[in-house]
Amino acid sequence: MDAPDSILDLARASVPFEASALFGSARPLEVELGAGKGRFALEWAAAHPGIGLVAVERARTYLEMAARRAARTGVANVRFVHTTAEDLLFRCLTPSSTAAVHVYFPDPWPKMRHHKRRFFRPENVARLAEVLAPGGLLRLKTDHEGYAEVIAAALAAEPRLQPVAPEAAFADVPATSFEIKYAREGRPVRCFALQRV
Ligand SMILES: C[S@@+](CC[C@H](N)C(=O)[O-])C[C@H]1O[C@@H](n2cnc3c(N)ncnc32)[C@H](O)[C@@H]1O
17: CATH: 3.40.50.150
Interval between CA 2 and ligand 1 midpoint (Å): 24
Q: Which of 42, 60, 107, 170 to mutate to test the pocket of ligand 1 (most atoms within 8 A of CB)?
A: 107
Strand 161-163, strand 78-81: pairing:
unpaired
Residue of 10, 57, 190 to test ligand 1 pocket, by largest number of atoms within 8 Å of CB? 57
In a domain, 11, yes or no: yes
In a domain, 172, yes or no: yes
Q: Say what the pLDDT of residue 2 is.
A: 46
Q: How many Å apart are CA 56 and CA 40, to the nearest integer?
A: 12
- Predicted local confidence at residue 1, as pLDDT: 43
* CA 129 to ligand 1 centroid distance, Å: 20
pLDDT on residue 5: 87
Q: Which ligand 1 atom is nearest residue 179's CA?
A: 8
1 in a structural domain: no
Cα–Cα distance, 182 to 197 (Å, whole number): 32
For residue 101, what are the domain limits? Answer: 7-196
**Is 157 among the domain residues?**
yes
Predicted pLDDT of residue 66: 98
Q: Is residue 191 part of a domain?
A: yes
In-domain check, residue 72: yes
Q: How many angstroms separate the Cα of 72 from the Cα of each of 69, 102, 114, 129?
A: 5, 23, 38, 35
- Decide if 172 is catalytic: no
pLDDT for residue 42:
98
42 in a structural domain: yes
Look at strands 7-8 and 29-33 and give their pairing. Answer: unpaired
pLDDT at residue 145, as a whole number: 97
Q: Does the global pTM surpass 0.95? A: yes
Distance CA 7, CA 82 (A): 8
Q: What is the pLDDT along the chain (197 residues), one digit of tens a residue?
A: 444 589 999 999 999 999 999 999 999 999 999 999 999 999 999 999 999 999 999 999 999 999 999 999 999 999 999 999 999 999 999 999 999 999 999 999 999 999 999 999 999 999 999 999 999 999 999 999 999 999 999 999 999 999 999 999 999 999 999 999 999 999 999 999 999 99
The pLDDT of residue 134 is: 98
Whether residue 2 is contained in a domain is answered as: no
Which residue's CA is the closest to the ligand 1 atom numbered 5?
A: 36
Count of domains in the chain? Answer: 1
Ligand 1 midpoint to CA 126 (Å): 20
Residue from 2, 9, 107, 172 carrying the catalytic annotation: 107
Q: Which 8-state DSSP code applies to residue 37?
A: T
